[in-house]
Amino acid sequence: MPATKRTRSRKGTRKYGKASEKRVASAMRRRKKGTLKSGSGATVKSRKQAIAIGLSEAREKGGKVPRRKK
């Protein structure tokens, strides 16, 4: 029988909080409606950009979100 590598579970630690999840979901809904705007005022069409905006909003409100990578 081959040796298998065991992975450890994180035991309840979450990377993102519930409020952050709601902010991202809200940004995605606004993107689909066509009302989500970027910092320059342009309409957001990219899914990745909508997620980034949602996480940024969550950070501003003090939600549990990891730091941005530089």
**Strand pairing partners for 37?**
43
Share of the chain above pLDDT 70, in %: 84
pTM over cut 0.75? no
Q: Provide the residue range defining the domain that includes 51.
A: 18-60
Mean pLDDT of the residues in the chain = 86
Angle among Cα 43, 63, 35 to the nearest 5 degrees reads: 15
* 45 part of a folded domain: yes
DSSP sequence for 4-64? -PPPPP-TT--SS-HHHHHHHHHHHHHHHHT--B-TTSPBP--HHHHHHHHHHHHHHTT--
Task: Provide the pLDDT for residue 17.
Answer: 87
Report the domain count for the chain: 1
**In this predicted structure, what is the pLDDT of residue 63?**
82
Is pLDDT larger for residue 1 or for residue 38?
A: 38
pLDDT exceeds cutoff 80 at 26: yes
Q: Which whole number is the average pLDDT over 21-30?
A: 94
